[in-house]
Structure 1
Amino acid sequence: MTTDASGRGPEIEKQTHPAVILAVIGVGTFLSAMANSTVSLALPSISAELHVQLSSVSWIMLSYLLTTAVLLMPAGRAGDLWTHRTTYLVGFLIFFVGSLGTGLADALWLLVAGRIVQGIGGSLLLAAGPALLTTSFPAAKRGQALGMVSTATYVGLTLGPPLGGWLIALGGWRWVFFLNLPISLFLMVLGWRFLPRLRLDRKRPFDLAGTAALLFGLPFALLALVEGDKWGWTSPWIVGSGLLGLAVLTVFVLIERRHTTPVLDFSLFKSRIFSGAVLSALGNYISLFIPLILLPFCLTEGLGGSTATAGMLLMAQPAMMALSATPAGWFSDRIGTRPLAMGGLLVLSVGLLGLSTIGAGTPHWAAAVWMGVVGLGTGVFVSPNSSALMGSAPRDRQGVASGVMALARTLGMTIGIALATAIFEAAGGTTGHPWNEADFLAQRHAFWVAAAVSFASVIVAGWGNRKKA
């Protein structure tokens, strides 16, 4: 199948029913989310076994997110040129290899290396999934389809923490990574059997120069952002890394503006809907990941719960996301994306302020309630915002749009983790011992920042989503 006269790009084969594609992508996101959601719960156990502090063990999360962030745009463009089915299947194969290496690692650097390999596979998966959906469903059903996949993601995130707590208690933290092995194999078989094969126009060149500039510049810029607080913002390493990253990224922008098939099509950002959706998604994930990195330590070291108990309590957030995502997508197809995106972010802000009240005497159920409010806000926000973003991009740029959406999410997660660590430690908080009042106060400062970012994102969402997308 080739590009049509309108230039809309390749179309899904007629015999592949959209519901089948939705089922395959939904199962994939459910199982992947379930496996990945156990990693943060394993951090206290890894920290204790390897005798490293939060600032070091957080690289187990950051290495995956940074790798994914760097590769998302090339992965999205590769899907547009070489089929999203191919990138989806190769992504799971690479993810399998990384999971095996991470589970076998016996040192922090080996764990980080395995997570980098996982991130390479994850970038392909994150770029391919939404593009497969948005090229399969009409605009009138796009929000509902994305909402259903979001629900599958959040159900996986709900089941992941208790499963992870059980695995860690039974066999240790390594089984959090070994869990990915049968899941990846199963999904490779499922995708090979059911995802559509496309016949693409391969005459369009891949942007090698832009890809090289992005792969070289973005890691240096992100390294300065993540390690600035630890190494010192005036450190020659941080200043040099930041300036080098910005210089190469400037070259990247110049290349992209001249290339006929760029990795990142900056013309997409001329749409206020697209730009607003990207920026509000970035703010949402910054706000969400500040508590997600700190609460496992708070619940175990601060409130005295077991790892299994912490896993059960953390279920509240993805459970509420799962309950709200599909209805939010359905309503966005009928009333537009703006009120739901703004309302969801406002609810998220309230939940984060509630989490900031946690102290030494806070009952476990209160933390779960506030995490439920956080999950409700994010669940209401994500599907309408994703629908607005993907719907504002041309059909032959769906891979690029999907990559931008995933990049905003991944950068938000990365910045959120970096901010949580920096604010917590700068305010005098430490981990690896029963928390005292100073540790709870340091966490409170981090949650206040998260709430402020979320509230600012409400304004951005209102600016961008001025009309039904």
Structure 2
Amino acid sequence: MEYKWVVLSNTTLGVLMASINSTITIISLPAIFRGIDINPFTSFQYLLWILMGYNIVTATLLVSFGRLSDMYGRVRLYNLGFLIFTIGSILLSITPNTGSLGALELIFFRIIQGVGGAFLMANSAAIITDAFPYNERGKALGINQIAGLAGSLIGLILGGILSTINWRYVFLVSVPVGIFGTIWSYTKLKELSKPSRNEGLDPIGNITFGLGLILILIGVTYGLMPYGTSQTGWEDPWVIASMVVGAGLLVSFVYVEKKVRYSMFRLELFKIRMFAAGNIANLLRSFAYGGLMIIIIIFLQGIWLPLHGYSYSETPFWAGIYTIPLMLGFVTMGPISGWLSDKYGARVLSTLGMVIVGIGFLALTTLPYNFNYPEFALIIFIMGLGNGMFASPNTASIMNSVPPKYRGVASGMRSTLQNTGQTASIALFFTIVIASLTTTLPHALAQSVIQAGAPQLAPLVQKVPVAGALFAAFLGYDPVKSMLSTLPQNILSTIPSTAISTMEQRTWFPTAIAPAFMSALRDAFYVGAGMSFIAAITSALRGRIQIAELEEKVGRNAEK
């Protein structure tokens, strides 16, 4: 087999493993949290950290790992990533404890996975770029990114199946793939680029960037949780301090990078117009698109599926099945757009892709909460097409624009901005939805219990934490039964049996919260549409096609 195809198949396997792990975790969270016996009304912070902790670690480490790869060999550190990721998967599958301690162990083991994932992501695009000629890179990166979406699709289905058997299998499934990939990469891959040992690391930049991200995430996490008599914690002094200090560190990061000798971000690369426009467009796309999947899954599991007769225990699996069109759109367009970008460049394709994604967000705002599935499936399929049209041409454009010796750090910078945007997107979508629900959900629940014949519950349901109710529905718990089981007997005895029977109907709770939740979703979709259109404008500004290695070659020939 020609070596470039060995490279593509191995890096594709790495992407496949990491993407399966991502969606299999999301769709299996209900089984995981039941398995470690977590109370859904008091554990919203664990949900966010399990979802976002992995991305925080990769976003913090990617550029430094890209720099290390330029110094010591991209293949060597890529191989190490396979090994570390596999170790993290094994640890997750044997998580020994339950309750809060078990949740903390899961978060820590996910962080170990994140370290391995950072090595893989920092190097895969650079290794492919080294192995393929410039006129085949779009196609190769398109196939690689299709594997990522195919892995996401496989993860949704596998998660739905394995989580019903044993939640530990959700993490164990990555182990044989990781072992095979580790052995294969160590035996088959070879260095094509000459390591540059005259470089150094940037510990100050890493600490500034990583700590800034973590503090902002901590602030957002606890800002979404109740504080005192308020439904949210945005007035908590610790939340305010965390957000301010985190933002200050991220702002100071730019200044730090201008002063240190071996900067984490090579800011001079942003002088390359194609590199700058491609990365900014990618960051905006990640902001707009990164939180879409989790928000849609929460809506399907907590509202739409129960309204259509699915029990809460079944909703995680079917939510995965019903989001498949989003993946299929990407898989359909990814290789086509990559092949076209090799011939015609990335500008038109990537720009049009983001316009389509923006229109898709606007189309989602027109749906009622009890929508017809074919309409919903068509919209998210088209959004997947737009995302696929953007992704591989944009990546090829970024990687082609930088000199070969900087491909490792450039790949790390691209992945860092993408992961940072995805992490921030999840936090942003949750913030918009919960902030909106805080003003509408307590009244909606109060009105619903009054109409059900239990007016004495109105003051109590108005105090139910919005995040807790949302989280409970997402994890497959019936929030009403959870609430009724905690009532004192003297209050429970005053509620007519007909009212209890009404509230325990499968459709009562989703009907009660659906209008408020759909209104909150529309706010999030409008924000997503706006960022998508800004990403399209940025993409259009990338300028002419630029192949750095060809320009270097022409320059050397001219000197001769």
Matched, 1:345 2:354: yes
- Find the structure with the greater CA-based Rg: 2
1:445 Cα deviation from its structure 2 partner: 2.0
Which shows bigger deviation, 306-315 or 237-246? 237-246
Q: Note if contact 1:303-1:364 (Cα within 8 Å) is conserved in structure 2.
A: no
**Residue in structure 2 matching 1:308, options 317, 332, 355:** 317
Q: Note if contact 2:14-2:82 (Cα within 8 Å) is conserved in structure 1.
A: no
Which shows bigger deviation, 195-204 or 330-339? 195-204
In structure 2, give the amino acid aligned to 1:283: L
Tell me, in whole angstroms, the C-alpha distance in 2 between the residues paired with 1:234 and 1:83: 48
Structure 1 254/155 Cα, relative in aligned 2: closer, same or farther at 3 Å? Answer: same
1:58 Cα deviation from its structure 2 partner: 2.5
Structure 1 250/314 Cα, relative in aligned 2: closer, same or farther at 3 Å? Answer: closer
1:63 Cα deviation from its structure 2 partner: 0.8
Which shows bigger deviation, 347-356 or 262-271? 347-356
Task: Report matched runs for 1:26-105 at 5 Å.
Answer: 26-46=12-32, 49-52=37-40, 55-56=44-45, 57-105=47-95
Count of matched residue positions in the alignment of Structure 1 and Structure 2: 453
Superimposed CA distance per residue, residues 304-358 of structure 1 (whole angstroms, 9 cap, x where no aligned partner)? 2432222212221112111111110111122221111111011111222233344
Task: Report matched runs for 1:191-210 at 5 Å.
Answer: 191-197=185-191, 200-210=195-205
Q: Note if contact 1:157-1:315 (Cα within 8 Å) is conserved in structure 2.
A: no
Partner residue in 1 for 2:498: none
Superimposed CA distance per residue, residues 43-75 of structure 1 (whole angstroms, 9 cap, x where no aligned partner)? 344456522258431221111111111111111
In structure 2, give the amino acid aligned to 1:298: F
Partner residue in 1 for 2:415: 406
1:439 Cα deviation from its structure 2 partner: 2.0
Structure 1 442/334 Cα, relative in aligned 2: closer, same or farther at 3 Å? Answer: same
Task: Report matched runs for 1:262-277 at 5 Å.
Answer: 262-277=263-278
Partner SS for 2:131: coil
Task: Give structure 1 stretches of 5+ with no counterpart.
Answer: 1-14
Q: Note if contact 2:48-2:221 (Cα within 8 Å) is conserved in structure 1.
A: no
Q: Please report the RMSD computed on the Cα atoms of aligned residues, expressed in angstroms.
A: 2.4
Which shows bigger deviation, 202-211 or 339-348? 202-211
Partner residue in 2 for 1:147: 142
Which shows bigger deviation, 358-367 or 56-65? 358-367
Tell me, in whole angstroms, the C-alpha distance in 2 between the residues paired with 1:148 and 1:252: 35
1:206 Cα deviation from its structure 2 partner: 3.0
1:388 Cα deviation from its structure 2 partner: 1.3
1:438 Cα deviation from its structure 2 partner: 1.6
Task: Report matched runs for 1:6-25 at 5 Å.
Answer: 17-25=3-11
Matched, 1:178 2:172: yes
Q: Note if contact 1:290-1:446 (Cα within 8 Å) is conserved in structure 2.
A: no
Q: Note if contact 2:57-2:111 (Cα within 8 Å) is conserved in structure 1.
A: yes
Matched, 1:336 2:342: no
Task: Give structure 2 stretches of 5+ with no counterpart.
Answer: 226-231, 442-468, 474-478, 480-508, 547-560
Partner residue in 1 for 2:287: 286
Q: TM-score, with normalisation over the residues of structure 1? A: 0.89
Structure 1 229/426 Cα, relative in aligned 2: closer, same or farther at 3 Å? Answer: same
Structure 1 417/354 Cα, relative in aligned 2: closer, same or farther at 3 Å? Answer: same
1:153 Cα deviation from its structure 2 partner: 1.6
**Residue in structure 2 matching 1:452, options 530, 534, 546:** 530
Task: Report matched runs for 1:381-460 at 5 Å.
Answer: 381-428=390-437, 430-431=469-470, 432=473, 433=479, 434-435=509-510, 436-460=514-538
In structure 2, give the amino acid aligned to 1:50: I
Identity rate of aligned residues, in percent?
29
Partner SS for 2:265: coil
Tell me, in whole angstroms, the C-alpha distance in 2 between the residues paired with 1:390 and 1:222: 30
Matched, 1:296 2:297: yes
Superimposed CA distance per residue, residues 105-157 of structure 1 (whole angstroms, 9 cap, x where no aligned partner)? 33322221221121111111110100101122222222111111112222222
Partner residue in 2 for 1:10: none
In structure 1, give the amino acid aligned to 2:184: L
